[in-house]
Amino acid sequence: MNAADALPLAGRVALVTGGAGKGVGRATALALAREGADVALNTHRSLDRAEAVAEQIRSLGRRALVVPGDASDPTVVDELVGRARAELGAPGIVVASAGGRWVPRPIEEIPPDEWREAMAEEIDGVFLLVRATLPAMREAGWGRIVTVGGYDAEQWTVPPEVGPIDYALGKAARHWLVRTLARHEARHGVTLNAVAPGPITRLATEDVFDAVLGRYALEGYRRPTQVDVAEAIVRLCLDGTVTGSVVALPGPEPGAVAGG
């Protein structure tokens, strides 16, 4: 057995959607690869960066592929899951981090088409991913589904012009979905959880790889960073005893809003 085979996620295939070229998606993809997983990446707006992440994953001895497109589009999700299955193997880990834009404004100023777009990005994408991957996880008797929610989304107390209500509603729906499905899927060996960060400090893109590998000191940064969020996600993927949970990462100012 070589060292790679001894890693806890060796032989697992992870699928990471939304912003896989930057932020939480990038850090999560790299952290999962560090633990031994092969990774299928999806990104809607940062293809070049996602390709760079794939190269970093390969430098760790893992396999990687990139499928661009909107993760709330059923055709894109079908292609993403299909290519992952064909080229890497059936995804046993799904991290749904794709979400809507942060646009604070009063409710009467939200155009209906933008409201529907936000709901699709926040909710439909998670539904489509779960729908496409859950049957194979049940059959395998093992699966980890983690979505990125939002701190305190169910008790959103900030005014809409500071924290957008479509964002909060979408994140709260994600929390509800994992809590509800977790009750029914535990007997199949499948866990569903959410990580709910508050405001995060973003490390520079070029520093994320070294930070994930423990080669970059985070002591000087306000926490959490996107790497801290990624590490919480990875812990949920490693631990089969936690399911139906929303792990809050409020940061040093829990009364602040998560976007901006």
* Active site (catalytic) residues: 167
Burial class (CB in 10 A: 0-12, 13-18, 19+), 64: buried
User: Which of 20, 38, 124 lies closest to 77 in space, CA to CA?
Assistant: 124
Task: Tell me the residue type at 90.
Answer: A
Distance CA 156, CA 85 (A): 38
Residues 6+ away with beta carbon under 8 Å from 22: 46, 49, 205
Neighbours of 115 (CB within 10 A): 15
